[in-house]
């Protein structure tokens, strides 16, 4: 990642970037990388409150996401306006993601693992699987293929080749990013998602539990893990 200049985070909902990779984003932004978020939905169905309207929640969650992104040093947040809870890896979604990749020309894309359906005590949201599937297809072959989506070339968007993909929440991670110095920043960003965080006081303790990595010499670090794919 030393020479990487631009990173695009492609995920489904507001708060996904901070939960999946907020420490990494904070670290990379601090190192001078330019960060772009592309979120498929506004998360307008992410509430247990039956009196909350989807339209109101969409506005709330967009504001929360933009505030959280500012904490981490993110340059731009793009919403694609797909309906929350109904995401599917369609050609339309692939085209819209390809448009953003060709527009911003990221060196690295971060997305989530479309193969993970469950872990102990956790069922993966179908929107997470869908966005991961569509994002990987948009990276390859769509964004780099000049004959795919010719309408994008008509818009002036030429093919672009992403260099690396970091898959967050991966079933079999093979690389970790040390976020020890940025864990508190990740927590600060997540606290802006007030509509989603039920216990903000206990948030940092939970993050420490999730991200703790004990070294053989007894040292404690905090890391985010990914499956890294280097494209040729």
Q: What percent of the chain stands above pLDDT 90?
A: 91
* Mean pLDDT value across residues 126-147: 98
Question: Across-strand partners of 138?
Answer: none
Cα–Cα distance between 148 and 159 in angstroms, integer? 9
Cα–Cα distance between 135 and 112 in angstroms, integer? 9
Q: What does the mean pLDDT of the chain come to?
A: 96
Task: Provide CB contacts within 8 A for 79, sequence distance 6+.
Answer: 39, 41, 42, 62
Q: What percent of the chain stands above pLDDT 70?
A: 98
Structural domains in the chain (count): 1
Domain annotation covers residue 72: yes
Q: What is the CATH number of the domain that holds 41?
A: 3.40.50.10320
Task: State residue 2's pLDDT score.
Answer: 54
At 91-136, the pLDDT tens digits run 999 999 999 999 999 999 999 999 999 988 889 999 999 999 999 9
Domain annotation covers residue 151: yes
In Å, what is the CA distance from 229 to each residue of 48, 80, 108, 166, 201? 37, 25, 10, 6, 36
Domain annotation covers residue 1: no
Report whether 148 contacts 98 (CB < 8 A).
yes
In the chain, the largest separation of any two C-alpha atoms, in whole Å, equals 58
Give the DSSP H/E element, type plus range, for residue 39: strand 34-41
Domain extent for 153: 6-230
224 — pLDDT class (breaks 50, 70, 90): very high
């Amino acid at each position: 990642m030393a020479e990487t200049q631009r990173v695009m985070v492609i995920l489904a909902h507001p708060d996904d970037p901070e939960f999946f990779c907020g420490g990494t984003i904070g670290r990379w932004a601090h190192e001078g990388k330019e960060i772009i978020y592309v979120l498929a939905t506004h998360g307008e169905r992410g509430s247990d409150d039956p009196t909350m309207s989807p339209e109101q929640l969409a506005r709330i969650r967009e504001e929360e996401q933009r505030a959280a992104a500012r904490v981490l040093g993110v340059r731009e947040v793009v919403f694609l306006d797909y309906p929350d809870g109904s995401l599917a890896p369609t050609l339309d979604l692939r085209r819209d993601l390809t448009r953003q990749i060709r527009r911003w020309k990221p060196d690295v894309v971060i997305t989530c693992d479309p193969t993970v359906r469950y872990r102990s005590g956790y069922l993966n949201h179908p929107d997470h699987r869908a966005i991961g599937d569509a994002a990987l297809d948009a990276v390859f072959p769509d964004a780099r293929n000049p004959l795919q989506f010719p309408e994008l070339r008509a818009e002036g968007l030429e093919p672009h080749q992403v260099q690396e993909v970091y898959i967050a929440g991966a079933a079999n991670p093979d690389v970790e990013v040390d976020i020890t110095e940025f864990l508190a920043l990740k927590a600060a960003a997540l606290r802006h998602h007030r509509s989603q965080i039920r216990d903000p006081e206990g948030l940092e303790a939970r993050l420490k539990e999730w991200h703790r990595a004990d070294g053989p010499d007894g040292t404690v670090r905090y890391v985010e893990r990914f499956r890294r794919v280097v494209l040729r």
